Amino acid sequence: MSRVVLSIGSNLGDRLAHLRSVVQALGPRLRAVSSVYSTPPWGGVPQQDYLNAVLVADDPGLEPSDWLKLGQQLEQAAERVREIRWGARTLDVDVVQAMQARGTGRVAVRSADPTLTLPHPQAHNRAFVLVPWLEVEPDAVLEVAGASRPIGEFLAALDAAEVAGVRRTEFTLGWVS
């Protein structure tokens, strides 16, 4: 069984429809869906603000690499083009963290594979990931450099202006638990 935290974002085309397409595709696999947040672009490339959200999903038949492939298929369906690093995109689906069942609990999957590095190597630095993730999993823990810390601690360590730039919108993704 694998359980994932996915960060989704869009700043081209019908941004909300792109995010909703991920929610629709995951359907019964979803366990939690954050509010939709408006966030400034990250990485220094001038572009429109993003809509971002975090999803928690699980599926006993999927491995972390399967979640990556599914995310890439959803990006392709949204006609995502990868031309500029940190550039504008119709849809971005990132696997932030994956957990696998072990005994009576779950353990975080670690991977240094350049195709799928887990946990996501920059998640702890990105308010647009941490703010919505904290909303849906306030007790979540993330491992960085071999040490596990609550995501709220990573968020508290970020620049206050970056955190303030992550603004909850009135939009919803149409998911009901």
Greater pLDDT, 39 or 102: 39
SS3 string, 71-138, reads: HHHHHHHCCCCCCCCCCCCCCEEEEEEEEEEECCEEEECCEEECCEEECCCCHHHCHHHHHHHHHHCC
Task: Write down the pLDDT at residue 19.
Answer: 97
Identify the CA nearest to 127 among candidates 52, 71, 75, 67.
52
CA atoms of 86 and 162, how far apart (whole Å): 16
pLDDT of 165 reads: 96
The reported pTM is 0.92
- The residue whose two tokens read 């609990």 is 105
Q: Residue 136: what pLDDT?
A: 97
Q: What per-residue confidence (pLDDT) applies to 82?
A: 64
Work out the pLDDT band at 1, boundaries 50, 70, 90.
Answer: low
Q: Looking at the predicted structure, is the pLDDT value of residue 129 above 70?
A: yes
Q: What is the pLDDT of residue 79?
A: 80
> Which candidate, 130, 169, 128, 134, places its Cα nearest to that of 35?
169
Which domains are assigned to the chain? 2-168 (3.30.70.560)
Q: Choose among 162, 140, 139, 177: nearest CA to 37.
A: 162
Q: List the single range of 6-10, 65-69, 82-86, 127-131 with lowest mean pLDDT.
A: 82-86
For 40-93, the pLDDT digits (tens) are 987 777 789 999 999 999 998 999 999 999 999 999 998 877 677 767 889 999
Instruction: List the single range of 48-57, 141-150, 161-170 with lowest mean pLDDT.
Output: 141-150
| pLDDT confidence tier of residue 20, bands split at 50, 70 and 90 | very high
Average pLDDT for the chain: 90
